[in-house]
Amino acid sequence: MLGRLEDPTMNVHLGDLEAYVQKKLERGGYASAAEVIREALRKMRDREREDATLKAIESYVLRGIDPGPPEGVSNEEWERRLAAARQRMQSFAAEGIESADRGELVDGAEARSRLREKQKSRRRRKAG
């Protein structure tokens, strides 16, 4: 396990992203490349938190439970998120019914296999 660095300075090779960082600096709004990188990392962290929250909400909806809003989320925002998750799931179900009506059914084993491959692909993209 890595310990906390004494010096928080870190050298990172950006590869083709270096030109993008340079453009951000040239356009203004940032005093340094470090500011650009910090903002990008904050946004990535926030997106990961939001994705985790969304997955949890969808899990609650699927199981028919409502544990109430987590700390830092208002009741109104919680209700909005639950309603949006329910709507997404209803859309998925409607899409499935329409596919069945068109005769585009896939047997259970094939569907599970496709889902597993899709999950593996997503994990590889996240890891890469």
pLDDT tens digit sequence for 78-93: 888 888 888 888 888 8
6 within a domain of the structure (yes/no): no
Which residues are CB-neighbours of 73 under 8 A, at least 6 positions away? 53, 81
Give the pair of three-digit tokens for residue 83.
């309603």
32 within a domain of the structure (yes/no): yes
Instruction: Evaluate if residue 1 carries a pLDDT over 50.
Output: no
Q: What are phi and psi of 103, to 5 degrees?
A: 80, 20
126 within a domain of the structure (yes/no): no
What span, in angstroms and rounded, lies between the C-alpha atoms of 88 and 54? 11
What span, in angstroms and rounded, lies between the C-alpha atoms of 115 and 109? 10
Angle in degrees, CA 28, 33, 34, rounded to 5: 120
The pLDDT tens digits for 95-107 are 888 888 888 888 8
128 within a domain of the structure (yes/no): no
Q: Per the structure, how many domains does the chain have?
A: 1
127 within a domain of the structure (yes/no): no
H or E element at residue 70? none
Claim: this prediction has a pTM higher than 0.85? no
Give the pair of three-digit tokens for residue 88.
């997404």
5 within a domain of the structure (yes/no): no
Q: What is the pLDDT of residue 94?
A: 87
85 within a domain of the structure (yes/no): yes
Instruction: Evaluate if residue 21 carries a pLDDT over 90.
Output: yes
What residue numbers bound the domain in which 72 lies?
Answer: 17-121
